[in-house]
Amino acid sequence: MRRPYRDGRAVRGRPHRDDLLIAAAGLLGGLVLWAVGLHTTPQGRPLSGAWVLLPMTVMAGLETLRRTTPRLTVILGTLALVADQFTTGSLATVVMFTDLMYAAVLYGTPAAARRIPWTTALITVAVTIGMVAWIHEVAALLLGVVTGLLSFAPATTGAVVRNHRDAAEAARLRAEQTALLAEIDRGQAVRAERARMARELHDMVANHLSAIAIHSTAALSLGDERTTRDALSVIRENSVEGLAEMRRLIGLLRDGSGDGEPAAAPTLRALDTLLEQARTNGASSGLAFTLDDRREDQPYNHHDHQDRQQDRQEEDPPAAPHSRTPGLPAPVELAAYRIVQESLTNALKHAAPGTVTVELARTKRALTVCVSSPFGEAPMVPGPRAPGSGAGLVGMRERVALLDGEFEAGPATTGDGTGKIWRVRAELPVTEGSGTA
């Protein structure tokens, strides 16, 4: 059911209950004044006696519409006040007119709220000057004062109250907008934290689970006892490591501390261990893994990198002999490690037999990570594969985007153009801004 009132105004033409009470009080007061014989002007007016009740009743009726049609009530109220001057007059009629003038500014349109105070001020000045010029007595100034009290004073009061009301409404809207923005920020922070947790959980556990899936399939499909024993050993090792990683992550999520000392973020120094695990897990699939680390400040040995090295030397001044580049920011090292880890996991799942190459290159501005794996139809035997969900590529892309880097992944051709590879390439800025990502 719709409310009959909104923001102090009546809607659909229904009078406000307060307006009905004001009209009743004004009419009752006027009747009491008329009954005891109190009038605003002496006897001898053209219309005397009960005629004073007519403009008073009209004014009381207009009070019921002071919020719904404020402009019309002021116009009709002015006519009723003029008519009241032809009678003996009633103070209740005058008081109700001042209330109509106040309501016209408070509840009227913004344009009316601006015009009415100026109009009443000009009327007050005009009446004062006209009466002084006509009567030529100082007492004529009282008529100007009365006009100001009847029109300008209530209009100014209404303008002041309206300004305070509008300021309070604006403050309320600002508070609501601030609360809404805070809720939006909280929701974005929650979504960002969930995405970060999903990336960490996937990167920490997917590698171990993929190895378990591959070797368990091998143990079930191959009848060789030695192969089965080796597969079970790999399964146990990856299960223990995966459970340890999961336990640390759950501990961090629960109380921020874990069961013991929190595990340090992995760095590129652990790539040898990561590749060794990949060699063990990918042996049954015909995969080999190599690392080509060119992070030293020295020329490349390959001819296809000579032009790039020359351009890089023109952009960056050469380093001192036998010097090493500064250390990488922690977020960059973590992102590079996770990209290599996920790329090796994807190679174990999908790559054709061949060599998977991990390349690292470093300049003063960026760290480049490139992982290439054979691309083609994977044989059915040997090398059982694990299904993929595509979350790894999404996580890698998100990590690079958080560091304002560049990422690309897809099929490509080898350097000699004789084969196809799947290449994952990420360029991670190593400027100061990347350390706070």
Largest CA distance in the chain: 130
DSSP state of 431: S
Q: Which residues of the chain have pLDDT under 70?
A: 1-13, 42-44, 203-204, 206-208, 210-211, 213-215, 217-225, 227, 249, 251-265, 296-326, 376-390, 415-418, 432-437
Asked whether 348 and 214 are in contact (CB, 8 A), the reply is yes
pLDDT value, residue 417: 64
Nearest Cα to 33, choosing from 94, 80, 121? 94
What pLDDT digit, counting tens, does each position of 278-311 carry?
Answer: 887 777 778 899 998 888 643 333 333 334 444 4
Residue 382 confidence (pLDDT):
47
Q: Please choose, from the candidates 406, 429, 198, the residue with its C-alpha nearest in 3D space to the C-alpha of residue 332.
A: 429
pLDDT of res. 101: 93
Whether 380 contacts 433, CB under 8 Å: no
**CA separation for the pair 55, 80 (Å, rounded):** 5
- Contacts of range 135-141, beta carbons closer than 8 Å, 24 or more positions apart: none
The C-alpha atoms of residue 312 and residue 300 are separated, in whole angstroms, by 12
Q: Are strands 420-429 and 406-413 parallel, antiparallel or unpaired?
A: antiparallel
b/e map 83-120, b = 16+ CB within 10 Å = bbeebbbbebbbebbbbbbbbbbbbbeeeebeebbeeb
- Which of left, alpha, beta for 44 (phi over 0: left; psi -120 to 50: alpha)? left
Give the integer Cα–Cα distance in Å for 408 and 379.
26
* Helix (DSSP H) and strand (DSSP E) numbers for the chain: 12, 7
pLDDT for 287: 86
Q: How far is 331 from 339, CA to CA, in rounded Å?
A: 12
Q: State residue 38's pLDDT score.
A: 84
| pLDDT at 436 (0 to 100) | 43
Residue 360 phi/psi, 5-degree rounding, is -125, 130
